[in-house]
């Protein structure tokens, strides 16, 4: 088993990663009867894409002797209705100045790694994913 999810109360859950005992709490968003005081489940879906991209880029960057510290991805989740679902995820990559100076081959290798991360490959094709690579474009 990987994790557990327990409904606590007031539209909140507590998620536990079993190996580490790390906890994440969720809350329903304000537009769906919640208080929006924690990540919503759909926030986690969208944000896990950015986390996955950064993680696999870090794995790929290590043997390249490239340090990714400070690389940041902003996440915008767009919800649709009928049925209520994530319709789009917009990502904006913020590249620190020292990484912007990487050679084009290294940038392309890291970008391709991110674009093909496991979460990206798991997202339903009806969800439109847009990535603005900023300085790496």
Check residue 22 and give its pLDDT.
Answer: 98
Candidates 82, 133, 127; CA nearest to 112 is: 133
**23-66 pLDDT per residue, tens:** 999 999 999 999 999 999 999 999 999 999 999 999 999 999 99
Handedness of CA 51, 57, 63, 66 (dihedral sign): negative
pTM, two decimals, is 0.94
Q: Print the domain residue range for 11.
A: 1-39
For the chain, give the percent of residues with pLDDT over 70.
Answer: 99
User: What secondary structure does DSSP assign to 9-75, as a single string?
Assistant: STTEEEEEETTT--EEEEE--GGGTS---SB-HHHHHHHHHHHHHHHHHHHHHTTTT---TT-EEEE
Q: What's residue 133's pLDDT?
A: 94
Q: Are residues 64 and 103 in the same domain?
A: yes
| Same-domain status, 102 and 76 | yes
Same domain membership, residue 25 and residue 66: no
Q: Is the pLDDT of residue 68 over 70?
A: yes
One domain, residues 14 and 48? no
Q: Are residues 94 and 114 in the same domain?
A: yes
Total count of domains within the chain:
2
> Encoding tokens for residue 89?
């995820």
Residue 137 reports pLDDT greater than 90? no
């Amino acid at each position: 088993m990987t994790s557990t999810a327990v409904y606590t109360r007031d539209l909140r859950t507590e998620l536990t990663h079993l190996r580490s005992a790390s906890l994440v709490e969720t809350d329903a968003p304000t537009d769906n009867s919640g208080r929006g005081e924690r990540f919503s489940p759909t926030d986690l879906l969208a944000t896990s894409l950015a986390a996955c991209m950064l993680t696999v880029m870090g794995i790929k960057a290590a043997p390249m002797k490239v340090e990714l510290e400070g690389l940041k991805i902003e996440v915008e989740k767009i919800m649709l209705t009928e049925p209520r679902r994530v319709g789009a995820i917009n990502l904006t990559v913020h590249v620190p100045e020292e990484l912007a100076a990487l050679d084009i081959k290294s940038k392309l290798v890291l970008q391709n790694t991110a674009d093909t991360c496991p979460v990206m490959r798991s997202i339903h094709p009806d969800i439109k994913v847009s990535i603005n690579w900023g300085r790496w474009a």
